Amino acid sequence: MRRIPYRIGYFGGRHREGYRQVERRTIGATALDVGAVGLGCMPMSWGYSRSQQRGDRSLRAVHAALDAGVSLLDTADMYGPFTNELLVGRVLKERRADAFVSTKCGLLVGDQHVVANGRPGYVRRACDASLRRLQTDVIDLYQLHRADPEVPVEETWGAMAELVAAGKVRALGLCAVGARPARRGGTADPYEGTIRQLERVQQVFPVAAVEAELSVWSPEALERLLPWCRARGVGLLAAMPLGSGFLTGTLTPGGGFEPDDPRARHPRFTAEMMAANQPLVAGLRRVAARHGDGVTPAQVALAWVLGQGPHVVPVPGTKRERWAVENAGAAELRLTARDLAEIDALPPPRGSWD
Ligand SMILES: NC(=O)c1ccc[n+]([C@@H]2O[C@H](COP(=O)([O-])OP(=O)(O)OC[C@H]3O[C@@H](n4cnc5c(N)ncnc54)[C@H](OP(=O)(O)O)[C@@H]3O)[C@@H](O)[C@H]2O)c1
């Protein structure tokens, strides 16, 4: 537990003005501990509408998250590209000791497409460039964003392991967010290919964490990936834990998205599918209401992710100070067995996620 200056709270079991206890979790077997809820920095520069992305507001959101007990900041060189790391670097320059920085390599943004590059020379150059942008001399968790189909993953991972030996990186992670299409291909588990990949790279250097989508409406990682991680002491960074905002209950069906927001073309974000999936939001609201006035569906959605195991760290994305603080507060929400059972019994989501 770590003491965080805050307006109201408790410490050492007794309520005390000025401090609150913040739950910590360990990233895999690294002995590197982080606040139980992380911060996904992607929406500040990538993946959502550009008109909403403002550097000053985003900086305030990162500082507010750190003040509220968050330490894991999840970024990537491709977010922006590069501008997200530059933004996180401005914060790290001032308060490196408060943060655990996770960044990624292996995807290059071109004019029309994003392409994978897992060549060892490229990985080495990408790491040096990330260190410069992040204004730090070490990256806490360096993740392979996507394996390059033209380079054996062991080769890429070997180059990443050399970065650990060189002291530029503390631990390695693998992203599995793009694993979902395997389900469409007819395999029983969407993470089957990921697990095969993980077993290959484990032969080269230990995996500290896997980043995969996990939320109330995308629970597939619970089937095999999460147990695989648990059995090996590997942490799981839960990406998109708020269902890209849907589970927060703040999006109105038919409200529309700006044309450059990918949700404008996403099958689960049509007015029809958003209306059809409202029972999920209503279920989260019911549970939130039982926990008191200030508790939100977003916090319940994050507490459900936290409830999936002590090795799970959700990384909700936001560029807003208010939501960064709200999300950090989910670490203090304890769902009961009744709450968890009620959420697990909610109707499965409608609409393709692909
Ligand atoms: N490794 C990968 O390939 C990969 C892929 C996707 C995501 N990720 C990681 O996962 C993180 C989270 O994913 P995500 O950001 O796409 O999805 P998410 O966390 O499920 O949802 C983010 C969306 O929810 C909104 N939001 C956040 N907190 C809210 C709250 N308390 N109330 C109302 N709305 C709220 C955000 O709005 P605003 O942005 O307007 O604040 C944003 O639109 C990313 O930031 C990234 O670090 C990794």
Peptide bond into 81 cis (omega under 30): yes
26-244+310-334 classified as CATH 3.40.50.280? no
Q: Enumerate the H helices of the chain as residue ranges.
A: 55-67, 83-95, 120-134, 153-165, 181-184, 192-202, 225-232, 271-276, 278-290, 297-306, 321-328, 337-344
Cβ neighbours of residue 42 under 8 Å, at least 6 residues apart?
Answer: 74, 75, 76, 79, 84, 317
Q: Whose CA is nearest to atom 29 of ligand 1?
A: 323
Q: What is the pLDDT of residue 176?
A: 92
* Partners of 17 in the β-ladder: none
List of the chain residues with pLDDT < 70? 1-21, 179-188, 353-354
Q: What is the pLDDT of residue 187?
A: 56
Q: What is the pLDDT of residue 354?
A: 61
Q: What is the pLDDT of residue 50?
A: 87
Give residue 328 CA to ligand 1 midpoint distance, Å: 13
246 lines ligand 1 (CB under 6 A): no
Q: What is the pLDDT of residue 264?
A: 94
- The model's pLDDT over 255-287, given as tens digits with 9 standing for 90+, comes to 999 999 999 999 999 999 999 999 999 999 999
Q: Are strands 2-5 and 107-109 parallel, antiparallel or unpaired?
A: unpaired
Q: What is the pLDDT of residue 27?
A: 85
Q: How far apart are CA 146 and CA 224, in angstroms?
A: 20
Q: Return the domain boundaries, the chain.
A: 26-244+310-334
Q: What is the pLDDT of residue 53?
A: 87
Q: What is the pLDDT of residue 175?
A: 97
60 lines ligand 1 (CB under 6 A): no
Pair of tokens at residue 147: 């394996």
Residues in the chain: 354
Pair of tokens at residue 179: 């694993």
Give residue 300 CA to ligand 1 midpoint distance, Å: 15
Q: What is the pLDDT of residue 171?
A: 96
Q: What is the pLDDT of residue 41?
A: 98
Q: What is the pLDDT of residue 186?
A: 53
Question: Relative to the CA of 242, which ligand 1 atom is closest?
Answer: 20
Q: What is the pLDDT of residue 179?
A: 67
Q: How far apart are CA 247 and CA 1, in angstroms?
A: 28
Question: Relative to the CA of 318, which ligand 1 atom is closest?
Answer: 41
